Structure formats: structure tokens, C-alpha cells
Amino acid sequence: MLKLRLDEFYVVFTDASSDLSWKSTNTEKAFESWKKLRKSLELEKLKVAYLAQIHSNIIRKVERAGFQGPGDGLYTFKPNIGLVVFTADCIPLALVHKKRGFISILHCGWRPLAKGIIERLNDILKEHSISPEECQAFLGPCIGECCYTVGEDLKLVFPEYAFITDSGKLKMSLQRITIQELTKIGVRKIEAFDMCTYCSDNFFSYRRDRTKKRQIGLIIKKG
């Protein structure tokens, strides 16, 4: 598990040592994993906000914990609510503006990226007069360019992106596209974790195993 702390803000990316999906093949074990996570964060009363992820560009404002409806991003100014996305190959992207107490988390697969989820995030930052330059972004583990083989059609979806061809196969990096999109809207402080969820047994990978198990990306401001 990767745990980062910026003063009162915490960003967490879990791995295959804990399955946190409520839709898991082993729900009881998943609840046990949540219990352990709360303890390790010293947040025994941790409440989280989560979505029915649908590979969209929908980002929802969170006022209270619990289910937020369909979508692929969350944001809030409220402390003590953990914003969560579930992933198994897609990128969990956490963003914080420390001074304003703004936190956000996005589920970035190729579809949300193609539908402009980062531009939607930019709209929200603008709405609240938050400078992207002052935000810090964290990109969690995802499927790497090493393993992410895609179809030629994605060249049309991401015309500005430089694809690579390896052994005759077209490869794409979700991480590089996400960084490219963040840079476009003015986010400069970007920390990305170079770990491929497909190569490494330390992570759940949907592409590799068609698993229902999920790791999470979580961001919270402790109040």
C-alpha cells in the first residue's frame, strides 16, 4: 500500500494485499480489508464516498459520505470524507489544493479520458477559482505501456498522443495520456507511480485475470 501525507491530507493507493471491492468474490474478506485500512490510517470512523463507475466524464460534488450515483470522479471541500475510486488497471488520479482544502479523485480509463474527464475537472477548478498550477496530482498504479495493447481505432480517439509499436503491437500508456491531459489544463505538480498492475502480481488486473477484485485510490482531508 502506498500512503502519502501532505499535512492533513492523505492519499492512499492499495494493492493486492487487500481486496476492497464490495462486489468482490469474497465480500466478507473485503469488509475485513476495509477494517484493516481504517486502522492503518488511524481513521477508525472513516466514512467514504463512492460511485457506480461507468467510464464516463461525470464528476460529482460530495456533501456527505455514501453512494453518490453513477460517475467516475468525486470532489469536495469537506474534511473527514474519504473519496474513493475502485480500479484494476485504470488510473486512480488524486488531486489536492491544500490552501483551499479541495480534494478530488478520478477513475481514468481510456474512455473517461477520451470523454474529457480532465477538462471537466478543469471546469470545476475554474468554477471555484482554483489555480491548477497550485494543485498537486498523484497518479496511482495502472496498467503500463509494457502490457496495454490497444486497437488502431484508439489512434483516432487520441490524435495528439504518440503511440508506440512494440513487436508489431500498438501499445498505449494511460499514465502518459493522463499526464499530457493534466499538463494541458495547467497542472504542473504531478507525481506518478510507475508500477504496472498487469505485470506485477502485487496488483489486481482486470485485463490479466478478469477479476472482480479491486484496489482503491483514496484521498481525504483529516479535519
Residues that bind Zn ion (CB under 5 A): 144, 146-147, 196, 198-199
Kindly tell me which of 86 and 148 has the beta carbon lying closer to Zn ion.
148
Tell me which residue of 119, 49, 51, 46 sits closest to 87, measured CA to CA.
51
Cα 144 from Cα 152, distance rounded (Å): 18
- In the complex, minimum distance from the CB of residue 71 to Zn ion, in angstroms, rounded to a whole number: 28
Q: Do residues 7 and 196 touch, judged by C-beta distance below 8 A? A: no
C-beta neighbour count of 34 within 10 angstroms: 17
Compute CA distances 201 → 30, 109, 218, whole Å.
18, 20, 21
Kindly tell me which of 38 and 208 has the beta carbon lying closer to Zn ion.
208
Kindly tell me which of 129 and 165 has the beta carbon lying closer to Zn ion.
165
Chain centroid to CA 4: 14
- In the complex, minimum distance from the CB of residue 198 to Zn ion, in angstroms, rounded to a whole number: 5
Kindly tell me which of 180 and 200 has the beta carbon lying closer to Zn ion.
200
- In the complex, minimum distance from the CB of residue 27 to Zn ion, in angstroms, rounded to a whole number: 29
